[in-house]
Amino acid sequence: MTLQTQNAVTATKLGGVIGARVDGVRLGGDLDAATVAEVRQALLANKIIFFRDQHHLDDEGQLAFAALLGEPTLAHPTVKGVRNANVLPIDSEHGKANSWHTDVTFVDRIPSVSILRALHLPPHGGDTTWANTAAAYETLPPSLKALVDGLWAVHTNAYDYAANIDETRIGGVDTKSKEYRAEFVSELFETEHPVVRVHPETGERALVLGHFVKRFIGLSSTESAALFQLLQARVTRLENTVRWQWREGDVAIWDNRATQHYAIADYDDHPRRLHRITLAGDVPISVDGTRSTPRTGDASHFSNL
């Protein structure tokens, strides 16, 4: 299905519940307000939208476009060694983030939107898959909805990196990966989030899970692990996902309040580099109107909201 807008911008759906390719837009800081509104509408409707052949963009152009959609955050709450304070390199040199997650849920101000631009890609593999967490909630049986509507979880940036170490290499992770991961956890953040948040723009209910979840409040570690696997399996059902085969110059924009994503590490030792900008988001609100609460760490420097 292809939706045609008045300015010759088209959004072609890629899946039943998530994903669309948007054509007819040259991204940049000079886009008119009407086109920006159409892009936002396509984003809210499809959760993740893709743009091909945006080769003209550099970091400054990507940032200028991002500022039309919202307020850019710092590149990361803890990763300091980046040239542009708002642009985070997603670089295979620092390891492969091949696990399901929503960006930066370990702080109270979870980014609202992420904008990712492909710079250098491997000759094979390296796709990314996204899942719709609002659809995952909507398709839960009533008994599970009743459970998760009042459930809270602790999210932290100090999650178990060791589980992803390549044990076939002598010495485990290489030095650069080890240093980058040490910087990632150089300042500890822990935040209590509702497992179900109310989307501030669409009013949808969406699950807030992913690999930054440490445990559920009020449950033991064993109970937390079992319930986490049950709910995550609901999020990542194939019918709930879309997979994108990157080309250099592609840009992906996703609603970080209603998605998780997974970068597939199937490209051997080839380099892969993309640049990400996140937009400031509000503090999640639960079904009963309670806001997320930070336990450890102050993320006010990361986002102005």
* Separation of alpha carbons 154 and 217, rounded Å: 7
- Whether 25 maps to a domain, the answer reads yes
- Whether 302 maps to a domain, the answer reads no
Which residue has tokens 């986490």? 228
Q: Rounded to 5 degrees, what are φ and ψ at 131?
A: -125, 145
What's the confidence (pLDDT) of residue 90? 93
* Separation of alpha carbons 159 and 151, rounded Å: 20
What's the confidence (pLDDT) of residue 295? 96
Note whether 246 and 128 are within 8 A (CB). yes
Residues spanned by the domain of 270 = 2-296
What's the confidence (pLDDT) of residue 79? 73
The amino acid occupying position 126 is G
Q: Percentages helix, strand, coil for the chain, rounded to the nearest 5?
A: 25, 25, 50
- Which tokens belong to 281? 């988001």
CATH number at residue 53: 3.60.130.10
What's the confidence (pLDDT) of residue 141? 97
Q: Mind telling me the catalytic residues? A: 101, 103, 261, 276
What's the confidence (pLDDT) of residue 181? 54
- Whether 301 maps to a domain, the answer reads no
- Whether 179 maps to a domain, the answer reads yes
- Whether 180 maps to a domain, the answer reads yes
What's the confidence (pLDDT) of residue 299? 87
Cα three-residue angle 94-95-97, rounded to 5 degrees = 120
pTM of the model: 0.90
| Centroid of chain to Cα 305 | 18
Number of domains comprising the chain: 1
Question: In tens digits, what is the pLDDT along the chain, a chain of 305 residues?
Answer: 444 344 578 999 999 999 999 999 999 999 999 999 999 999 999 999 999 999 999 999 999 999 999 999 999 998 765 656 999 999 887 766 689 999 999 999 999 999 999 999 999 999 999 999 999 999 999 999 999 999 999 999 986 543 444 444 444 444 454 554 555 556 899 999 999 999 999 999 999 999 999 999 999 999 999 999 999 999 999 999 999 999 999 999 999 999 999 999 999 999 999 999 999 999 999 999 999 999 999 988 888 66
For every residue of 38-99, DSSP letters joined together read HHHHHHHHHSEEEE---TT--HHHHHHHHHHHS-B--S-SS----SSTT-EEEEGGG----S
Question: Which residues is 241 bridged to in the sheet?
Answer: 131
Note whether 19 and 132 are within 8 A (CB). no
Cα three-residue angle 190-223-154, rounded to 5 degrees = 10
- Whether 205 maps to a domain, the answer reads yes
The conformation of residue 290, written as its DSSP 8-state character, comes to P
